[in-house]
Amino acid sequence: MEKIIVKIQNLLDLANNNPNENEAVAAALKAQELMAKYNVHMESVHEMQEEIDKAIFNNMEHAGNRRWRRYLADIIAKNFRCKIYLSGECIVFYGYKNDTQIALEVFTMLVSVATKLAQKEYYNYRKKYGNAKGIMNAFLIGFCEGVKEALDRQCTALMIVTPQEVEDKFSSMTSGWRKKPNTIRHSTDQEAKQHGVSAGRRAMESRKIAMAWKKEGIT
């Protein structure tokens, strides 16, 4: 078991100190997978850093309704022991430094993948049916649900919870803050949504991630 813990430690270090986004995400997800497989809890892996930190996502290139990103960020935060809040046009992950950095890496990768696939879905749908209003958001909501389904299995297996210190400090910091609604207008088209669900599941087992694991000798 000691060898497994060392391997997980190395994966987490790789996730936090790798300039290649795909390889960093691959390492983070592989570490989580090994923890679930061998029933290893975070406290057994390393002494938790006491420093509370922030990791900020600020990429507003995608036109149109961006509220799906907040939905996705909520999913990622839960699975990587963080909280999130909005600061202007930015999404901020709040928690222990290692956790926020890994959450940001995974979130950034998924936003990029989801945006490209949703645009493709939109154009294919418009070509096929002539009208694609709301299709991108239907696909993106499905994508988020697919990611949630894939990640929640490991979250449950690992009994992942946000540390109490993070919960307490976040509650104190955000006390009195105005909460923004997150209603997302979208088509009720189930075909587009189901395509998104399938894409979200695949994104967690993507070829890029598998290639990154192989390159780093992670099996």
Per-residue pLDDT tens over the stretch 30-78? 887 787 777 666 666 654 445 788 888 876 555 555 788 999 999 999 8
Per-residue pLDDT tens over the stretch 132-164? 888 998 999 999 999 998 888 777 766 677 888
Place of tokens 């890029």: 208
Q: Of 86-90, 179-183, 214-218, where does the model show the most confidence?
A: 86-90
* Range(s) of the domain holding residue 155: 2-215
Cβ proximity of 127 and 105 under 8 Å: no
Which residues are paired to 41 by β-bridges? Answer: none
pLDDT band for position 210 (cuts 50, 70, 90): very low
Task: Please tell me the predicted confidence (pLDDT) of residue 124.
Answer: 93
For the chain, helix (H) and strand (E) counts, in that order, are: 9, 3
Quickly count: other Cβ atoms within 10 Å of residue 97's Cβ: 15
**Exposure of 74 in the CB half-sphere (CA atoms within 13 A):** 9
Q: Per-residue pLDDT averaged across 103-121, rounded?
A: 90
What is the number of structural domains in the chain? 1
β pairing state of 90-96 and 83-87:
antiparallel
